[in-house]
């Protein structure tokens, strides 16, 4: 069935290019400063933006409130605020195209891959401006970055509350010295409520995860408190298109295929973080969940991402289930492209499989591909994204070495042996969800670490 505009009640507006994200040199409306009303030092002094101050929830599992300190509802529901502000920007014509007009359907099959025809994103999305073979690259202020977006595109600042209670301030000053984190619209959206979380925007961090920024993303997922609002991250080399630290997020009231796939537990850390391996899915992944505190979970995942970054391994992250379940996908599609190992048929689709595609939300750019979308075609594309079995084992062992440095692991002494045992039992687990899964071999080509 086609899902044209599920849960969308947005008034149709003319499709225009955002006033503040045009290419350099185009005529701008004079607004003081540089004339772009941007987030840079030319326009930011004295500016004010809404502020959502979130409560730092780091609660223990099954924790009960202390009498007299029961959890109180925030004055405004975070997700309602975010989506309402996003709709406001839609009505004001700040998007490059009308994403609500894009056709969407669930592809028949066991997993229910979701296909969207989004021709506007292909035609109007900003091109990548950096090398795709290096995961860590220095920030370059001459390239497009989020200090150049217009203040009208910022929905609100997103900062921890000083009194540990969630609050909303419609008109708050910008603390330039402490560089606020902000939530802004994605002017080339792929779904309803598509926004960007930009940690400490004025610090101009390159696109690389650290412990503090990842914890902020988990706070946002927890604050939304809705399993259909998910956050994603793409590293450089894994189809991030802007080298300025940011996470993406949007609302889609469907279960992603990756969320349906079976998993097999590998180990549990001392902080009660459980690490599993994704089974019976075209892209190999580690799955993280649990933890005594939100910070325990966040630190384990961010350390995993830092390990991948430091070893120049491109990766994508999906933050699912209100921040309680996180998928980390090491990938090598861009490398295979560079080596000429991707078929012309797949290249012709012009689909760059980033976090949303890997999770099962296939954003297609050609009507032909949309009309011919099938589970087999989706599986064939994503199989090319995945590391080979051998390379995934090597990468996983590397990750466990790094994690073990900061946490005693309740796992077999030889992680490689445990991973091998997992591999041998995969055939049994595959029977759980075999169904109509296409019988395709996940890429045998070893993906080398790029140095």
DSSP code, position 103: -
Please tell me the distance from the alpha carbon of residue 277 to that of residue 271, in angstroms, as a whole number: 18
Per the CB < 8 A criterion, the answer to whether 105 and 373 are in contact is yes
Catalytic residue among 194, 246, 361, 451: 246
Per the CB < 8 A criterion, the answer to whether 304 and 328 are in contact is yes
Cα angle 354-359-365, degrees, rounded to a multiple of 5: 55
Please tell me the distance from the alpha carbon of residue 372 to that of residue 368, in angstroms, as a whole number: 6
Residue with tokens 């078929």: 343
Instruction: Determine the distance from the C-alpha atom of residue 46 to the mean position of all C-alpha atoms in its chain, rounded to a whole number.
Output: 32
Look at residues 335, 362, 338 and name the one whose alpha carbon lies nearest to residue 351. Answer: 362
Please tell me the distance from the alpha carbon of residue 212 to that of residue 41, in angstroms, as a whole number: 24
Please tell me the distance from the alpha carbon of residue 164 to that of residue 182, in angstroms, as a whole number: 19
244 catalytic per annotation: no
Per the CB < 8 A criterion, the answer to whether 39 and 22 are in contact is no
The residues annotated with a catalytic role in the active site are 246
């Amino acid at each position: 069935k086609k899902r044209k505009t599920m849960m969308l009640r947005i008034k149709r507006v003319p499709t225009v290019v955002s006033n503040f994200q045009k290419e350099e040199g185009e005529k701008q409306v004079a607004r003081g400063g540089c004339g772009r009303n941007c987030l840079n030092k030319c326009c930011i002094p004295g500016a004010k933006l809404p502020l959502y101050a979130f409560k730092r929830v780091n609660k223990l599992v099954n924790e009960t409130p202390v009498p007299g300190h029961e959890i109180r509802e925030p004055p405004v529901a975070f997700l309602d605020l975010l989506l309402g502000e996003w709709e406001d920007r839609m009505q004001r014509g700040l998007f490059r195209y009308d994403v609500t007009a894009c056709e969407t359907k669930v592809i028949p099959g066991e997993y229910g891959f979701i296909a969207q025809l989004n021709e506007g994103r292909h035609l109007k999305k900003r091109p990548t401006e950096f090398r795709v073979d290096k995961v860590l690259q220095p920030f370059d202020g001459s390239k497009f970055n989020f200090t150049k977006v217009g203040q009208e595109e910022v929905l609100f600042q997103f900062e921890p509350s000083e009194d540990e209670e969630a609050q909303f301030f419609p008109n708050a000053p910008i603390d330039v010295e402490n560089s606020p984190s902000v939530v802004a619209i994605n002017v080339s959206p792929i779904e309803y409520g598509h926004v960007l979380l930009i940690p400490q925007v004025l610090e101009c961090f390159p696109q690389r995860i650290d412990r503090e920024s990842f914890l902020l993303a988990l706070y946002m997922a927890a604050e939304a408190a809705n399993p259909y609002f998910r956050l994603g991250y793409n590293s450089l080399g894994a189809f991030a298109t802007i080298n300025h630290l940011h996470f993406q997020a949007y609302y889609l009231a469907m279960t992603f295929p990756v969320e349906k796939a079976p998993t097999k537990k590998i180990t549990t850390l001392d902080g009660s973080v459980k690490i599993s391996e994704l089974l019976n899915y075209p892209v190999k992944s580690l799955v993280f969940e649990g933890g005594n505190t939100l910070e325990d979970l966040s630190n384990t995942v961010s350390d995993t991402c830092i390990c991948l970054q430091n070893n120049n391994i491109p990766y994508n992250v999906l933050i699912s289930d209100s921040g309680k379940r996180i998928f980390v996908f090491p990938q090598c599609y861009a490398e295979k492209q560079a080596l000429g190992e991707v078929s012309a048929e797949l290249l012709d689709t012009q689909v760059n499989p980033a976090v949303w595609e890997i999770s099962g939300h296939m954003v297609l750019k050609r009507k032909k591909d949309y009309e011919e979308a099938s589970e087999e075609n989706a599986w064939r594309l994503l199989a090319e994204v995945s590391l080979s079995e051998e390379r995934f084992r090597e990468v996983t062992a590397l990750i466990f070495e790094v994690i073990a440095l900061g946490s005693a692991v309740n796992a077999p002494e030889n992680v490689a042996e445990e991973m091998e045992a997992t591999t041998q039992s995969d055939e049994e687990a595959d029977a759980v969800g075999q169904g109509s899964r296409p019988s395709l071999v996940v890429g045998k080509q070893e993906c080398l670490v790029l140095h």
